[in-house]
Amino acid sequence: MSTGLSGNSKAQHKEAAYLTIPKTTIALVLPAFNEPINLERTPTLKTTPVGSVLVRVLSTSVRPHNRAGFSGKSPLSLPVPYNPGNSGVGRVIAVGPDAVAIKPGQLVYLNGFYLARDDPEGTRVLNGLHDGFGDPGQTKLFKQLGGLWRNVATVPLENAIPLNEKLLVDELGYSFGDLNYIQRLSVAHGGVSAADLRAGETVIVAPATGHFSGAVAEIAAQIGCKVITLSRSASKLEPLTSRHPRIAALGLSGDEMKDVAAIRTLAPGGADAYIDVSPPPATASPHYLTVSLASLRLFGRAIFLGIMFDVKINCMSVMSRNITIIRAGWSGHCIPAV
């Protein structure tokens, strides 16, 4: 007589395991810059606090610049020791007593942009990634919640966004790892949304070889825009242009007049919008910013989604063409219901 579990029983057993609160929380913690990451074990809270959900982390993000952060070379502020992990996908294990919609068992996206409930405009952090440059309130919020490189996490109720598991996983076949792509696309969508792009418009994305800038270009192309992507080397943009016929690549020469003329060849009347996704090193030579702003049409829009410091802008040129400048930033995250 077989004592093995049937297919349904195995599934039920696995589901029950997902919904069981583990006795121990296991987290990865960076004790100090340039030190190995430690595995730390702490007792899991038996009661989920008001305004929170307890989730089993099924996947979480590993960012391209995590290495720089671990060595203390990130432009973002990271108070060590800290637990990395900004966003993820999880299964709700338990909910606080005030939860009315989210239920145990639901698949959720864990949005890593946290706001203090009693100071939502002044106290904001990127969970496991940035504490707001050392402001006491922001550092407190950053330390209190902790990142998502852990097996289970307690997160604010409003940061657990329900996902349509039947559609995304069962029908479309996305893995839990695939769904982490929501984080990259949500940041990019914040910039595209701030630009108020419409099908048929022309948008410049620069520089366009990065983690988020590529996503900006992809989303803009998908909604029907003509996208002009800029790089020092056009060949580096081939992964984008090969997949999206609406994306054009332009390699910059470094000469302002020549590069503006080249952009204007692709957008004769001037581009409708420019989304800047510059990394901090671009501060030393903000050529992308200069030529892109100069290539906007009358009443064009410029969206700043990047991180540069102390750059100069030709205010006379911007003013005379009635350019609207919008700061989207990380707070521009937009997570559509899925």
Which ranges of 102-176 does DSSP label H, i.e. alpha helix? 136-145, 165
pTM of the model: 0.83
Among the listed residues 206, 205, 197, the one whose alpha carbon sits nearest the alpha carbon of residue 224: 197
Measured CA to CA, the distance from residue 284 to residue 307 in angstroms comes to: 12
Domains of the chain: 8-165 (3.90.180.10), 182-332 (3.90.180.10)
What pLDDT digit, counting tens, does each position of 10-58 carry? Answer: 455 556 666 889 999 999 999 999 999 999 999 998 889 999 999 999 9
Average pLDDT over residues 306-334: 79
| DSSP label at residue 23 | S
Per-residue model confidence as pLDDT tens digits over 220-278 = 999 999 999 999 888 889 999 999 999 999 999 999 999 999 999 999 999 999 999 88
Report the SS3 class of residue 60: strand
**DSSP strands (E only) in the chain:** 24-29, 38-43, 52-60, 88-95, 107-110, 113-116, 119-126, 152-156, 160-162, 202-206, 226-231, 247-251, 271-276, 296-304, 324-327
Taking the C-alpha atoms of residue 209 and residue 12, their distance in angstroms, rounded to an integer, is 44
Do 203 and 220 meet the contact criterion of CB atoms below 8 Å apart?
yes
R_g over Cα of the chain: 22
